[in-house]
Structure 1
Amino acid sequence: MKQGRGLICAATAAQHPSDLTTLIEPVRDKVDVVEIRLDLMAQPEVANCITCLPDIPLLFTNRPLWEGGKYSGTEKDRITVLQDAIAADVAYIDIELDTDTKLRNEVILAAKDRQTAVIVSNHNFTETPTTQVLEDTLQHMMDSGADIGKIVTTAQEPADVIRVLSLLQLSQANQFQLSAFCMGAVGRISRLATLYLGGCMSYVAVDDLSATAPGQFTTEQFHSLIHLFENNEH
């Protein structure tokens, strides 16, 4: 990560841990974190994922159906896998803000005694809520005890992007780390802008075939934009 810029996270959609090495090796020097979507795997094998990618910070996510993911089992089982990741001292885990409060608190408390940072997230795949709703969501995240917040909406117009990015000013005023950007074609600019406006992390696809959200850039595309922006070439 360059000083003054947020982290770049490669989101993966691998079905098996053995696929991770092949996916990440070509972009290893271009990303800071790798997100492993356990809900997209044939089996959520935390230990094997760690073995396959031992030298890069890992973020484990087990996204349920009700938040746009593929996990369809019980909430208890879903959370147990995240607890396994925490016990293994992975760098990050992601748990949804709308997770049952008791279960969410158990995850956050478990992480306090380990080396894992907890990202509490909220995704809206249809729209961007009002400023009041967004700010209330951010406040709930700050009150949750998590280390980092993640607010991602779907932008229908430029004003949506501005509302979401403005959350970064509020989070910084409260000394709370936040990833905030928009999905969709209109929101693509926010994926780059957030890195330079105080956003904690932005997510990229490894390649054209492995996007996990609408509007994701590939790693190569994203680095081309970063190069142009940071080198001020004419």
Structure 2
Amino acid sequence: MYSQTKIAIPIFQSKIDEVIEVANDCINKGADILEFRIDALENPDFKQIKQTIEEINFPMIATNRISTEGGSFKGSEKERIDILYKCADLVDYVDIELQSDDEYINMIHDTGVKTIVSYHDFEKTPEIDEITYIVNKEQELGDIAKVAFMPKDLDDTLKVLAILSHCENTIAISMSDLGSYTRVMASKFDSPITFAAGRDVTAPGQIDIETMRALLNMDLNIMD
């Protein structure tokens, strides 16, 4: 049986024509869903963003990441949220950070789009109790919880697997090469989505899409 975990590929390009080119390349390589990193665009304009989403015409996560969580959006918080809100009717998921104002998260969730409420820490991995608190808060506000942490040792990566084993509708990632295996193991815990690299690595430890797909389905013919 093929893995039910969807492979998402971030599209992190600064120009619209490059977004479309890379998106099509990733689709051809086997992506299940694309993450449109709107914050990577030089001059995010909603009219162009809408046209781009419609032209690509593929399952998509709209993400407009803030700088404190690894993003590049340079406008105001109101402008950032307004773009995500307008994208809600065009995409399958909207990713919005937990540190965003609850009012903004609720506003996007109330559109009916599936929301991924996310939290990233590029410095460390908290203790399991703290991670559990973060995930529970995310699930109270949205549909899917997402956490990504930087491990300092193997024990930190095991904390992420513990979260995956106990929390439904959760994307949990241990970053860097040390934690890259958690991206593959996500499918064993029925995580809805895992992230792989297309042309660009957008987070430490991402595995290229071809390798990820092979690893997720390597036991397909084990009983043949």
TM-score above 0.5: yes
C-alpha contact 1:20 1:52 (8 A) present in aligned 2: no
Q: How does 1:114-129 map to 2 (within 5 A)?
A: 116-129=113-126
Residue in 2 aligned with 1:199?
Answer: 191
In the aligned structure 1, how far is the partner of 2:11 from the partner of 2:90? 20
Displacement, 1:184? 0.4
1:193-233 CA deviation, whole Å, 9 max, x = no partner? 012212111111113xx111011111122223234343449
In the aligned structure 2, how far is the partner of 1:185 from the partner of 1:231? 28
Q: How does 1:49-198 map to 2 (within 5 A)?
A: 49-54=52-57, 56-86=58-88, 88-109=89-110, 111-112=111-112, 116-144=113-141, 146-172=142-168, 177-198=169-190
What's the C-alpha RMSD, in Å, of the aligned pairs?
1.8
Give secondary structure in 2 for the equivalent of 1:185. helix
Residue in 2 aligned with 1:222?
Answer: 212
Displacement, 1:126? 0.9
Residue in 2 aligned with 1:17?
Answer: 16
Which amino acid is the alignment partner of residue 223 of structure 1? R
1:147-192 CA deviation, whole Å, 9 max, x = no partner? 11111111221211111121123223xxxx1111211011000010
C-alpha contact 2:5 2:190 (8 A) present in aligned 1: yes
C-alpha contact 1:17 1:52 (8 A) present in aligned 2: no
Which amino acid is the alignment partner of residue 123 of structure 2? T
In the aligned structure 1, how far is the partner of 2:86 from the partner of 2:93? 12
In the aligned structure 2, how far is the partner of 1:227 from the partner of 1:149? 24
Q: TM-score, normalised by structure 1?
A: 0.87
In the aligned structure 2, how far is the partner of 1:23 from the partner of 1:62? 18
1:56-111 CA deviation, whole Å, 9 max, x = no partner? 1011100011212111321111000001101x3311110000101222222222x2
Displacement, 1:43? 2.5
Displacement, 1:50? 1.0
More moved, 58-67 vs 161-170: 161-170
Identify if the C-alpha distance between structure 1 residues 46 and 26 changes in structure 2 by more than 3 Å, giving closer, same or farther: closer
C-alpha contact 1:46 1:84 (8 A) present in aligned 2: no
1:4-52 CA deviation, whole Å, 9 max, x = no partner? 5311001111112222332133331511100010110113242122133
Identify if the C-alpha distance between structure 1 residues 189 and 60 changes in structure 2 by more than 3 Å, giving closer, same or farther: same
C-alpha contact 1:35 1:58 (8 A) present in aligned 2: yes
The count of residues paired between Structure 1 and Structure 2 equals 219
Residue in 2 aligned with 1:35?
Answer: 35
